[in-house]
Amino acid sequence: MSGFVLASQITIALGLLGVWVLRTGGGTHWRGEGAVRLREEFLSYGLPPWFAHVIASLELVLAVLLLTGLRWPVLAGPAALVVALVMLGALGMHFKVRDPVHKSVPAFVLLLLAVVVAASQAEHLIRS
């Protein structure tokens, strides 16, 4: 596995952990519709409050799977694929509320990195 794929895997995991562990209650200029907290952001998208807990749990599990996938690579591909789907949803929410394009950059970058990791794992499985 290439160094770029490993770096991508780590970047995705740390990015997800950073959002849900370090930045949950604080504002960033990436939040949709000017929301300060993650809960407010989900509400601004018209999503029910419980959905933020579902996404938080899912993304934390995915981050752990990606980090665990450094040791057991078979875990990284499926986790990256789910991350890509979640990031597509995030991009859809930014589009739904007509956020400026720059607010979608983190989701877009994580989507691209997740595709790199998932494709690399798929290629590895095909060659095996």
On the question of pLDDT at 24 being above 70, the answer is: no
85-127: pLDDT as tens digits: 999 999 999 999 999 999 999 999 999 999 999 999 888 777 7
On the question of pLDDT at 23 being above 70, the answer is: no
Range of the structural domain that residue 108 is part of: 3-127
The residue-averaged pLDDT of 53-65 equals 96
Mean pLDDT of the chain: 90
The pTM of this model reads 0.90
Number of domains forming the structure of the chain: 1
Secondary structure, 3-state, the chain: CCHHHHHHHHHHHHHHHHHHHHCCCCCCCCCHHHCCCHHHHHHHCCCCHHHHHHHHHHHHHHHHHHHHCCCCHHHHHHHHHHHHHHHHHHHHHHHHCCCCHHHHHHHHHHHHHHHHHHHHHHHHHHHC
| pLDDT for the residue numbered 106 | 94
